[in-house]
Every structure is written in structure tokens, then in C-alpha cells.
Structure 1
Amino acid sequence: MDQDELTAYNKLNVLIIDDQVLVQNVIKSALVELGIENIKCAENAYYALRLCEQTSFHVVICAFNVKSDKDGFHLLEELKFKRHITKCTILIFLSAETSEHLVNSIVELQPDDFWVKPLNTKHVQSRLPLTLEVKRTLFNVYQAIDRQDYSKAMYFAERHLLNPALAKYHLQMKRLTGECLLNLREFSDAAQYYENLLQTHKVSWVYLGYIKALLQQDKLEDITSLLTELTDKTDTRFATYDMLAHYYIGKQDFAQAYEEIKKATRLAPRNIERNKRLLDLARLNHDHVGQYQAAIAMAKYAKNSIHDSPILRLNVVRAGIDYATTLEKAESIKVLNQADLLLTELEKQIPLSTQLKDQLLVVRARLHTAKEERPKAEAIIDNHISLRPGTSVEDNLDKVKALHELGRREDAVTLLDAIKRQISGNGLTDQVVGKYIEQELAERAAVHFTPQQLNRMAVELFKRGKFHAALNSLEQAFSLTPRNMSVALNILKVLVVMLEKKQLDEGHKTLIEKLLLQLQHETLNAEQQVLFTEYQQKLQPH
């Protein structure tokens, strides 16, 4: 695209993507009156992509609700990935909805403008020329950013800032300059730059740039009050939570990173990479229900997008099995039946001759084991599955779980050792997954059963009066499911009996204090609250 092409309306190529013909007609009519002649309309994402392969568009106007196939967020994400949309393209988002979730998702895509439906001719004709003028004036800056030549982009921006005739564009140029400093990783200079800007421009992007520069320098303590202020504001809370999640992952404080990324994901749920980090952090923090929900969300939001894959649906089954092994039998059966339905659907859709054959078989074996159909699981593992590690860490992890759940712990730990060597990167995802592998290696070596199996063993041991052994089983289960308050209450139940039989030692008393404190801050259902109050009254004096 050349800057000259943005100087005349009759040279512009415009694409309108909206499934409502009336909206298309309103925009098209307004554009024709402006003198724009080359206008294409697409009522679905598939046709929009076809048009972009045939024509280079200067202006893309895209609705959020492209109902026939994929939503506007994932369409624009794909258009950017395929370079049909660049920084030099004028990108305008359309929506009748203005919820915080939608606005946060749109902001992530950085459109040049956001038009709220219903539209009228006057609105289109007043907004588009302004957006076009900005893009044309700052074209050389945007082009340099497209080429990732951030130093050159800053040079052009600084030259424009010296031109009084361009005063009305100075704020956009200052924003682009700050983004370039961050991209160049000049965090000290960026912090000073944003701090100076805050003297005159107390706007959201300046605050967010400032805290990003300081967090990258590990100066969290300098901005604690500012962070509280930003997380209270609708226009800054999402980006602040997201940056804090990145910060805490870098500090290897994975528990706090998980809390922050949960907040960010709730506020902008469509970003698949963020959902993947959420899932990784959920399982690292032993939040099996959170892991299951994140896997479901990923499969849901990725549907028809460039991220869509049978693996995402297979991950829902995997997470479902992980979750089911932490539940009581009745609840476990419900989750396993849902997982079985999805797996059966995948097996029908994907021929066993494909590259997913081994993954499907391993998951099927895990499902048999979880449903107490051990001979079927063993037949699959013995006859169809190689114990050698493959190229995918996730597939290897699932194989480890299949082996461990069948009691083949030595093979599981050997395979885990091999997986650990596969994690070599320094990125955020590698840090989280690497830590999870370390955790799995320690836990699989130390704990030989699933939480569900350990709970059942504890029940039998308790009935036989073997309270120390029952407590040991429950403590192992709780180490794998520290968010499971039913297990915590079962531990207290055993400790109450041991107190009555005068079998408590100092270690038990420390455990009581720890559990009572934790349960005081947890959300319990009515039945759990009754039990907690009863156990608390019996144990607290001791």
C-alpha cells in the first residue's frame, strides 16, 4: 500500500463485512456520496477472506456479529495474521453492543475507530474522513511499525511533533512513540517518557504504558496505589490485570499470576492465547474445575477461528478426566459421561488412520481407567501405545497420566523425565509448563494414586479404625487437590476422632490450625458450613 493511494476517495478499496444487508447498504450509500467507488461487501467471514485474497483493501469495516460462521474478533485476528490488515490499513469495528467484554476484546485488536449501530449516513461521512486523514498523515510512522523498524517510526513521529501544523495529531504520535519504546525494550526511557506525559495527559494509555514500563523493571512497589486505582476503572482494569499476570509469571509467583489472569480472562474472554495461559496456570495450581472450564472456553471461543483444532476438543476430554478423578463417584460419573460423548464424537469425525490416532487411544484408555474398566485400558496401552516420548509435550503428559493411573509408575516417571528435557524455552508459557512438569514429576513419584482412589482408600481405612493411615491417604489427596474443601473437611473429621482417642501429636495440631484458617476464608456450601462449624468447635480449643 502506498501513501498516495489514501489521498483520493476514488482510489480507495473498501471492504464492508456485516451479515445485515441493511447495514451494508447504509454504509455503502454514505461512501458513494463521499466519492468512493470501489466497495465490496461480504456477509460472512469465508467470503471476506476470499475477497482479501483477491484485493488489497485500504479500509476494512467489520461487524462483531458475523453470525453465519465466525465472529468479527476472530475474523480480524485471522486477517491480521495473514497480513491482509496491517498498521497502514484503516480498520473500523461495528457493533450494536458496547459491553465491557466486547470493548476489551476490540481494544486488543487496536482498530482505528469503533462505530456503534444503528448507523446513519451522516455518522459515516463525518467519521471516516477524520480516520482517513490521521492514517494518511502518519502513514510513514505506521509503515515503519509494520516493518518492526521502531527506531525509524520514532524518528518520523519526532519530526511530525516539531511541525505546529500537525498539532491535532500530536497525541496519536506521542502514543505511538511510547509503544515503540516498549517494543524496543527501552523500559527505563519508556517509564520516564510516560511519567513526563502524565504531567499533561492523564489518559488511560499513558497510565498503562507507565505501569508496563515499571513492571518490566520489577518496580511493583512503586505503583501499588496506582494499580489499585487502575483496576477500579472500567477502561484500564482489563489491561492492568493482564500485565500483572505477565509480571507474576516472570516472578514465578504462579498462584498470584493465576488470580490476575482469571480476572483478565473474565473481562476479555475471546483471546485464545490468554485462555491457554489460564488453563496452564489452573492445573499448576491444582484447580481442576478451573482447568476444565478453561479447556471448554478455549474450544468454544476458537470455533471456526484460526485456532480451531480437534486437539482443543480433545483437551476438554483430558481436563474432564483430570477433574473427574477429584470428585465423589456420582459427580465423577456425570463428568465422565460428558467426556465420553465428546470423545466418541471426535472418534467418529477423525479416522484412526490420522496423526491423532495415538492421542485418541491414550485418552480412551484414561477414560476406561476412570470408569473402572481397567482391562480395556490395559489392552489399549499394551497393544497400541509406545512408551517413547513424542514431539508434543501435552500428548506425552497425557500418556504419563494414563500409565500412572494404571499403576505403571516407573514408566510414567521415566517418561516425565524425558518430557522435562523438552521444555527449553524462556517464554511465559514455557515457564508455566516447565514448572508444571517439575510438579508432576515430584507428585507422580511420591503419590501413587488419584485423589478419588485415595479418598476411597481413606474411607475403608477409617471404617477399620486405621485413623493414621486414613489421614495419610487424605493428606495425599489434599496435596493434589488443595482447593477441594470436601477433602479438607474429611481430614478434620479424622482428626476429631483421633483427638477423642488421644492420638494427636504436635504435627497434627499444626495441621488443624492450618486447615481451620484456610476453611475460614473459603466459600462453603450449607452442608459444608455445618460440618466445619461442628469440627471447629471440637478442635479449636486444642
Structure 2
Amino acid sequence: MDAKLAKTCRVLIIDEQVLAQGYIKYSLEELGFRDITYVDKANAALKIIEEEHFDLIVCSYNLKKDQDGYYLYDQLKNSHALPLTTAFIFISADTNSELVHSIIELQPDDFLAKPFSVKDLDKRLSRVLKRKKVLNPIYRLMDKDDFINALEAIEEFLTRPEFAEFYPLALKTKGELLLACDKAKEAKDFYHAVINVQPFTWAKLGLVNALIKLDEDEEAEKLILQLAFKPDSQLVAYDLLCALHVKLQDFESALEAVLMAAETSPRNLRRHRVAINLSRLTHDYETQFEAAKRIVKFAKHSIHDMPQNYLNVARAGIDYAMTADDQETTNLIKQANDYIRQFQQAFPKSELQEQMKVVNARLLYLQDEKERARALVEQLGEELNQSQDLEDLLDKAKAFHALGLYDRCQHVLDEIEKRCRLTPEHGELFLHYIQQEKREKAEIRQTPKELNNSAVDFYQSGQLEAALKAFRQAYSLMPKNPSIALNLLQAIAMKAREQGLSESAAGMVERCILTIENGKLNDEQEERYLKVKSFLQEAV
């Protein structure tokens, strides 16, 4: 260890175990470190990091008191509170697969497994701090978002042979800066040149980003699929695949990609939030419900644990119940109420009376108590408070629509869309979803169950065109529901007997069959399906 570097280095240790703090302090002092600060909680760490600069942060991955090291580091990175000039090292006694995936995903400067010796610490810290020191001028420019001058500085750095041991990291940084400077074509050529010499994973991932920026989506997807089979790039590959499909507005494929990533690294709350928005766009109510439940599960006992998480599970359960059969609806209502109780126990002082009125009104609607539901909704104020959360407003719009207050529903959705455009941090996916909700709720005034029931009545009374229209609308809102798909398929078959099967109807038949064969039917429905499918195969 460079004695001068150690002596001038400001160190922060984040660990709640007194013995661990003592051992790290002893080890650092043996290596010549003198300016050492200790905290035992993530909240305290966040505060001090925002107020003071540290050259080195040594953090336990297994913090328990308010949030663990994973969420702390994730928050520091996403809030830009951790400068590139600061070295961040995780320590942990665990080396399970979940932790390994998290470390790969978070990419701290290093990870040290306990127990470690002073010699081990010396070796790791010397390497990390030396790297930070030589790249410090470049990192300072990058922390100021001065990417053009940082790119010039990294070019000059790469001409100096005394820094040859840092060339791989410098090359990686150069690629990132080319992309940050919107030089996608140069970045593509640069990454190809690097890969031709040595196929670094980082270079392949950088090449994917360059290809996406250049709209070379097919090439990007091929490379992503290769990277998805490698453990060290799997998570990033799934995220890139999701982003690519979102760009192409293939939301089904994007949802599949983000769910694979979430399965591999389930503690990443942002992925679960992306999954919620994608499942809304694809009308996959079950997946929306499960993703909302995972946010509650993984945010618990951290600073991410908040009343909104529990309410969003109840809301997702209600959305799901609006499309479910009676038995499943009863179960979903029970689960929604369970999460409401959990929220009330965890946050007894929370002031969410209006939000609870909306949730309770929607629950009453599901139980066919429409008058009581409407009475609750009528208690809500007409004004839309600028401070209201968008999820609260969205839930209100859904309650208005279900109870026939269509103008009020559209007014709220207009307000949400306006706020999404003014504050882009709500995200592109959420804006897409709100725009979809506006279209659907303007065109379709019945709830999914009401649509299906109306369509069955039309079909049984011989009003085939009206039945087909209602079944199509019901299927557009419930594309994962095999019963709805079967009803639509049967109506299409009836029309085909009279007029033949059109090209557009043939495409709908394929989608219905896919839904049915990926779902479950009862015995009576299965018998109907086989007959209808047989007829349609002959008609084609």
C-alpha cells in the first residue's frame, strides 16, 4: 500500500457489527489509513455521503437495520450521490448465487469475502485506489457530465505507456464516453476494433448499445441473445433485450425479457416496476399482480417499504379480479384485503383516506354493491391535487369508469397524461399505458365481464355481428383469458359457416388458439373447443 495515498485517503465504513467494524479499523490502520469514519445504518450512510466526500467506502452487503447494502448502493448510483472518484467495496461472509448475481449486476469497484487477511485487503485496496487515482481527472469530468473533454482526456491517457496496466479499463471508459457524446457510429467501429483484438464482454455490450442507437436492431438482437447465455452478461443482456423490444413496441417480448431478468435477480425493484407497466400494456393482469407482490416482499424492512406498495398490490388484485371468474374473484378480493390490512398494520399513522375510499369503492363494485361503491366515489373532491400520486389518480379513473362516470374518468386520464409529458421521470412505458387506457376507456364503456356477458346474450339471440364486436372488445381487454378466446373463436366459426373465413379473421383465429392452448378449459369448454377447431381447420 502506498503510504502517502493511505494517509490522505478519507474512508467510510458501513457495518452494523461492532466486531467487524473493529477488525476493519485494525486492518486499515495497519495499512496506514488514518481518516476513518463509521456508520451502522444505510440512512446514516446516505446522509453523510451526500454531505461529505470519501475516497473509499467499505460497505457490508448484509446490513439489516433499515436497508441492506444492495439497496444502499443501488440508490447511491441512481441518485448520482456516489461520484466516480470514490471507490466502493462490498464485504460479505455470504457468497450465495443471489449475492453473486447482485454483485455482477451492481458492479462495485470490488467485492471481498469474509474472512479476509490484512494482506488480502492490502492487495485489493492498492489496486482499486491506484486505479481511481490515475483516472481521477477523467472521472471528475464525467461526474460533471463534461463528456467531450473527458473523451479527449481518455484519448490522451491511452497514449501514455506508463498507464498500460489500466488500458482495458480506459478502453471501456472510452466506449462509454463515445456513446455519451452521441457518437454511435464511432462507438460501433471502436467496439468492433476492440472485439477483433480480444472479445471482452463489456465491448460486446457496448456494441449492442451502439447498434440500438443506430437502429440496427436485428444485429443488436442477435448479439444480445448470444450474451444472454453467459453468466457475466446475462442480466444486462435481458435488460438490453427488454429495452430493444420496448423501442420496437413489442411489449409482449419486452415483458418476457424483464421477467427473465427479475427471476435471476429478484431484488431489483425497478425491474418489477417495469414488469408492472409492461403487463398493463399487454393486459396480463396476473403478472401485474405478482410483480406488485414482489415489490412488497423485497422492499420490506428497507427504506423502499412504503404504503403505496401495499395499495398497488390491492389495486393490481382488483384489476385482475375485474377479468376473473366468480371463484377467482372471491380469492383475489381476499388477497387485496389482506394487503390492505398489512399496510394498515405497518403504517398505522398513514393519511390515505381518499385513496382507501377509491380502493374500497372498487372492491364494493366487484361484490355487486354498486350503490355503496358510487356513494363512496361521490365523496371524492372534484379537484385534482397537483401533489397526488399518479397511481392514486389512475385508480380513481378506473373507479369512475366502472361506475359509469365516463367524463370524470377521461378528465382524470387527461390530467395524468399531461403530467407524464411535463415530468418525464414517470417513464415512457407509463405514458404508453395511459394513452392506451384513454383509447380503450373512450371506445369501450363496459367492464370486461359485462362485455363478455353482453356478447353471450347477443350470440344466443342470434345477433352475430353484435356478438362478434363485443367478444373482440372483451378479448382485446383479456387476451390471456382462454374462456373469452373460446367464445370469440366460436362466434368467428359461426360467421365463417355463413360467409367463409376472411384473412383478418384467420389471424384472430391463430391468436385465440394460442391463448386457449396456453390456458386451461373445463371439460365442457374443451369439448366445444375441439369441435370449433376441427371446423375451422376444414374451413381453412
| Aligned mates of 1:507, 1:396 — CA distance in 2 | 43
1:277-332 per-residue CA deviation (whole Å, 9 max, x = no partner) reads 22112101111112112222233334455544322322222111111111111111
| Aligned mates of 1:352, 1:479 — CA distance in 2 | 41
Please point out which of 63, 66, 74 is paired with 1:66.
63
Determine the structure 1 residue equivalent to 2:379: 383
**Mean alpha-carbon deviation: is it higher for 370-379 or for 357-366?**
357-366
- Cα pair 1:454 1:474 within 8 Å, conserved: yes
Determine the structure 1 residue equivalent to 2:123: 126
* Alpha-carbon distance, 1:508 to partner: 8.3
**CA spacing shift, 1:252–1:509, aligned 2, 3 Å:** closer
- Matched residue type, 1:378: R
TM-score normalised by length of structure 2: 0.86
* Alpha-carbon distance, 1:421 to partner: 3.8
- Cα pair 1:6 1:12 within 8 Å, conserved: no
1:377-410 per-residue CA deviation (whole Å, 9 max, x = no partner) reads 1111112332657565433322221111112224
1:124-182 per-residue CA deviation (whole Å, 9 max, x = no partner) reads 22211111111122211222211222223223322222221211111111111111111
| Aligned mates of 1:457, 1:144 — CA distance in 2 | 64
- Cα pair 1:512 1:539 within 8 Å, conserved: no
1:405-436 per-residue CA deviation (whole Å, 9 max, x = no partner) reads 11222432344344444442695954323332
**CA spacing shift, 1:482–1:194, aligned 2, 3 Å:** same
- Cα pair 1:462 1:470 within 8 Å, conserved: yes
Determine the structure 2 residue equivalent to 1:35: 32
- Matched residue type, 1:213: A
Determine the structure 2 residue equivalent to 1:523: 518
- Matched residue type, 1:156: A
Determine the structure 2 residue equivalent to 1:363: 359
**Mean alpha-carbon deviation: is it higher for 47-56 or for 80-89?**
47-56
- Cα pair 1:96 1:116 within 8 Å, conserved: yes
- Matched residue type, 1:381: V
**CA spacing shift, 1:95–1:301, aligned 2, 3 Å:** same
Please point out which of 168, 173, 184 is paired with 1:187.
184
* Alpha-carbon distance, 1:261 to partner: 2.8
- Cα pair 1:19 1:44 within 8 Å, conserved: yes
Determine the structure 2 residue equivalent to 1:235: 232
**Mean alpha-carbon deviation: is it higher for 434-443 or for 366-375?**
434-443
Please point out which of 483, 488, 491 is paired with 1:491.
488
* Alpha-carbon distance, 1:482 to partner: 0.6
| Aligned mates of 2:530, 2:26 — CA distance in 1 | 69
Please show how residues 144-163 of structure 1 align to structure 2 within 5 Å. 144-163=141-160
- Matched residue type, 1:399: K
- Cα pair 2:485 2:512 within 8 Å, conserved: no
- Cα pair 2:3 2:32 within 8 Å, conserved: no
| Aligned mates of 2:412, 2:299 — CA distance in 1 | 30
Q: Unaligned 5+ residue runs, structure 2?
A: none
Please show how residues 261-340 of structure 1 align to structure 2 within 5 Å. 261-303=258-300, 305=302, 307-340=304-337
**Mean alpha-carbon deviation: is it higher for 444-453 or for 200-209?**
444-453
- Are 1:196 and 2:193 an aligned pair? yes
Asked which structure has the greater RCO (Cα within 8 Å, sep 6+), the reply is 1
| Aligned mates of 1:408, 1:218 — CA distance in 2 | 43
Please point out which of 397, 402, 420 is paired with 1:400.
397
- Cα pair 1:495 1:508 within 8 Å, conserved: no
* Alpha-carbon distance, 1:204 to partner: 0.8
- Cα pair 2:310 2:342 within 8 Å, conserved: no
Please show how residues 17-32 of structure 1 align to structure 2 within 5 Å. 17-21=14-18, 23-32=20-29
**CA spacing shift, 1:333–1:55, aligned 2, 3 Å:** same
| Aligned mates of 2:469, 2:389 — CA distance in 1 | 35
* Alpha-carbon distance, 1:7 to partner: 3.7
- Cα pair 1:387 1:411 within 8 Å, conserved: no
1:3-46 per-residue CA deviation (whole Å, 9 max, x = no partner) reads xx994323333333344555445434432321223444444424
| Aligned mates of 1:541, 1:316 — CA distance in 2 | 45
**CA spacing shift, 1:216–1:101, aligned 2, 3 Å:** farther
**CA spacing shift, 1:142–1:53, aligned 2, 3 Å:** closer
1:60-119 per-residue CA deviation (whole Å, 9 max, x = no partner) reads 122222133212111123444666632111101234555665444434433111223443
- Are 1:475 and 2:475 an aligned pair? no
- For the residue of structure 1 that corresponds to 2:89, the secondary structure is strand
- For the residue of structure 1 that corresponds to 2:199, the secondary structure is coil
**CA spacing shift, 1:463–1:65, aligned 2, 3 Å:** farther
Determine the structure 2 residue equivalent to 1:514: 508
1:327-373 per-residue CA deviation (whole Å, 9 max, x = no partner) reads 1111111111221232345457768994x433232222112112222
| Aligned mates of 1:526, 1:337 — CA distance in 2 | 24
- Cα pair 2:7 2:35 within 8 Å, conserved: yes
- State the Cα RMSD in Å: 3.4
**Mean alpha-carbon deviation: is it higher for 148-157 or for 212-221?**
148-157
**CA spacing shift, 1:469–1:87, aligned 2, 3 Å:** same
Determine the structure 2 residue equivalent to 1:440: 437
**CA spacing shift, 1:62–1:398, aligned 2, 3 Å:** same
| Aligned mates of 1:278, 1:237 — CA distance in 2 | 18
TM-score normalised by length of structure 1: 0.86
**CA spacing shift, 1:95–1:487, aligned 2, 3 Å:** farther
Q: Unaligned 5+ residue runs, structure 1?
A: none
* Alpha-carbon distance, 1:205 to partner: 0.6
**CA spacing shift, 1:39–1:533, aligned 2, 3 Å:** farther
**CA spacing shift, 1:507–1:408, aligned 2, 3 Å:** farther
- Cα pair 1:477 1:487 within 8 Å, conserved: yes
- Cα pair 1:63 1:93 within 8 Å, conserved: yes
The percentage of aligned residue pairs carrying the same residue is: 34
**CA spacing shift, 1:105–1:185, aligned 2, 3 Å:** farther
Aligned length: 534
- For the residue of structure 2 that corresponds to 1:85, the secondary structure is coil
- Matched residue type, 1:174: L
- Matched residue type, 1:164: P
- Cα pair 1:389 1:415 within 8 Å, conserved: no
**CA spacing shift, 1:465–1:118, aligned 2, 3 Å:** farther
- Cα pair 2:417 2:431 within 8 Å, conserved: yes
